[in-house]
Copies of this chain bind each other. A is one copy, B any other.
């Protein structure tokens, strides 16, 4: 065609994740929490499982605030090989105890294909971390699992790439995918990353999958978590992933971005009002 430089296809490169092919919202039920439905779901817990005492203390606070799902890392991807890389199997065991003792569902990260069966033995939701968003061998592996998957956006990935990675999981047969924006890398330095709050309305338009936000990794500063959580819920997020540590100053990883139990409790109360203001509950 003369005078035309480029022709752009109408069809999006993702199908199973697209709202075009699946107009109704996907709802994923975990331990009674209906993720993607009217209530906003808050998942709290520490960055890493550090000790029996620490996780139980944290889990009691999550439960006391009405939480049904607990987060905590047993296997930790760390930029440096010399940093604390998580308790591993023992951490997984502690999470299993939380589950049986307190009745909380568990979300925890899985880092490689061969870990999937073991982690899926404890976890109710498998988390794929930001650095692994395009680890296709891992996406294929969690796609063959029966567990719901929380897919975190790469800190350097576009929204379309996030949806393409969800498509990898779904094309393996697992349609229970929760998307999570956790801050993208920009030139700004007052926050660890920049929370891309626009991702909420963009994703809600493009896909039927539930959309979570992680204000802890986005900001990297505990004191901004409350404001960013409120913004996320106001924008229409289906849920939040909040790092909370019983004693943030003693955390073995991500202490600076973990809120204290008091701030966590206050945040939940604040979010309840915002959720209601946008026609949802908590």
Contacts and interface: CB of A to CB of B under 8 A. Distances in A.
Interface of A: 3-10, 13-14, 77-82, 111-115, 131-132, 134-138, 154-161, 164, 167-168, 171, 184-191, 194-202, 205, 218-219, 223-224, 227-228, 230-236, 270, 273-274, 276-278
Nearest to A193: B198
B168 A81 contact: yes
Contacts of A202: 190-191, 224
A199 B235 CA distance: 16
B198 A228 contact: yes
Contact of A231 (B159, B194, B231): B231
B77 A134 contact: yes
Given A112-B113, A156-B157, A228 B273 contact: no
Interface centre among A3, A134, A138, A191 (most CB of B within 10 A): A134
A21 to B, nearest CB: 14
Contacts of A198: 188, 190-191, 194-195, 218-219, 224, 227-228
A199 to B, nearest CB: 8
A115 B184 CA distance: 31
A132 B159 CA distance: 19
A119 to B, nearest CB: 12
A239 to B, nearest CB: 15
A211 B235 CA distance: 19
A155 B158 contact: no
Q: Which 7 A-B pairs have the closest CB atoms?
A: A156-B156, A234-B234, A112-B137, A131-B134, A277-B277, A201-B227, A230-B234
17 contacts: A5-B9, A8-B8, A79-B134, A79-B161, A81-B167, A112-B113, A160-B189, A194-B194, A197-B231, A200-B227, A205-B223, A230-B236, A230-B278, A231-B232, A234-B234, A273-B277, A273-B278
